[in-house]
Structures are given as C-alpha cells and as structure tokens.
C-alpha cells in the first residue's frame, strides 16, 4: 500500500532545555511556522488535531491546505473575469512598417514558491543557517542553497529574510578576512623580492 507524504517536517532542535524533536508546519500562504513537540509515539493524526487546536487549518497529507490563523482571518480577494473586448477595426496598410515595440521584463521579479518548494527551502535553511548569529555556516550562501535546490536565488533570499531576517555580519570574521588579505599581499611581495635576489646569485 502506497503511503502519502506528510505535509509537515520532523526537525531535531537544541535549546537550553536540551535536544527535542518537533513537527514543523509551514503556512502555504505566508510561510509562518508552527513547531509541535513530538514524543516517542509520533502520530500524524495527533499532529493534525494539535495544529487545529491552535487555530491552524491542517491536513496531515496536503501541505497546500496548511493555513495559519492570520491568513485564515484575511479576506480573500474575489477575481472577477474581464469580458473580452470587441475585435478592433482593420487598420489601413502603412507605407512603412512600424518599428517593433520591445518590452523589458525586470529581472528581479520571481514567481511565488509552491508549498513543496517552500518546505524544501526551509528544511535546507534549518541545516545551513545559524539563526542565533543571523548568518550562514561556512561555505553556504543564498546562491549556494539555490544551486543545491535548483531554484532561483531571489526565491531563497525572500524566504530566508521572511523566516530569519537580513543576514547579520560578524565583525570578528570581517576583521579576520581583512588580516588574511593583508598577509596574502605581504607574502606575494616577499616572494617577488626573493625571486629577484635568487636571480643575482645564479651563475651566468
């Protein structure tokens, strides 16, 4: 019998009280999360009931039906169909063809993430982003996460800022990077001087 995937993720957390396992739900509309502590007898039906008790709409097998209380309270916008326009009268043939009209589409626009993509991004960020320091772990960035998940970098940036806020720079790391760059430049200068000195003592 085929088992349907769960609409929430099981995440291991560590805090001042020690390690614990939670069921993490994501709102399909705004990305807000809800963590429910799990015991050894993990039951999906119980997770669904507990989420509903906190005011969430929840379906244990359909992530698109997981809605937080704030989004439930917002009125939905009714989109009315626009009636088709009557066909325009034929235009007279011009002596010269008009130059083509080109439209530039801004490259910064990005389509909204699907519930499945949002869940994949949040899982990845939980692994590689240090929430307490507000920065990625070594070697990771919005671009690296986008390449790993094969998704637009702008989508990763939007969901990361919504969940954790802007990246905070660590002054100590910045200073270390400046010192390392200075040492590399100094080593390069010394290497050039050594090469010049060695040329003087080579037999001719």
CB atoms within 10 A of CB 138: 7
- pLDDT score of 104: 43
Stretches in the chain below the pLDDT threshold 50: 1, 78-79, 102-107, 171
Task: Give the model confidence (pLDDT) of 122-161 as tens digits.
Answer: 999 998 988 888 889 888 999 999 999 999 999 999 999 9
Calpha distance 53→143 (Å, rounded)? 38
What is the domain partition of the chain in residue ranges? 1-74, 112-167, 169-198
Tell me what pLDDT residue 198 has.
Answer: 82
pLDDT in the model for residue 153: 92
SS3 of the chain: the string is: CCCCCCCCEEEEEEECCEEEEEEEEECCCCCCEEEEECCCCCCHHHHHHHHHHCCCECCCCCHHHCECHHHHHCCCCCCCCCCCCCCCCCCCCCCCCCCCCCCCCCCCCCCCCCHHHHHHHHHHHHHHEECCCCEECCCCCHHHHHHHHCCCHHHHHHHHHHHHCCCCCCHHHHHHHHHHHHHHHHHHHHHHHHHHHHHHCCCC
pLDDT of residue 56: 92
Per-residue pLDDT, 137: 87
Cβ atoms 143, 153 nearer than 8 A: yes
pLDDT score for 171: 47
In this prediction the pTM is: 0.37
Residue 78: the pLDDT is 46
């Amino acid at each position: 019998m085929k088992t349907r995937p769960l609409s929430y993720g099981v995440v291991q957390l560590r805090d001042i009280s020690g390690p614990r396992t939670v069921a993490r739900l994501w709102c399909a509309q705004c990305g807000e999360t809800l963590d429910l502590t799990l015991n050894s007898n993990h039951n999906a039906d119980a997770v669904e009931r507990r989420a509903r008790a906190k005011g969430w709409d929840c379906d244990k097998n359909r992530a698109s039906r997981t809605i937080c209380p704030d989004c439930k309270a917002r009125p939905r916008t009714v989109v009315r169909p626009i009636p088709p326009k009557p066909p325009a009268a034929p235009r007279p043939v011009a002596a010269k063809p008009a130059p083509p009209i080109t439209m530039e589409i801004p490259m910064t626009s990005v389509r909204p993430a699907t519930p499945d993509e949002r869940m994949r991004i949040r899982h990845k960020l939980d692994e590689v982003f240090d929430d307490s320091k507000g920065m990625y772990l070594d070697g990771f960035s919005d671009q690296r996460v986008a390449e790993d998940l094969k998704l637009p970098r702008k989508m990763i940036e939007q969901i990361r800022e919504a969940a954790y806020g802007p990246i905070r720079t660590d002054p100590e790391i910045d200073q270390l990077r400046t010192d390392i760059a200075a040492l590399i430049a100094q080593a390069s200068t010394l290497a050039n001087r050594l090469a010049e000195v060695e040329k003087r003592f080579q037999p001719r």
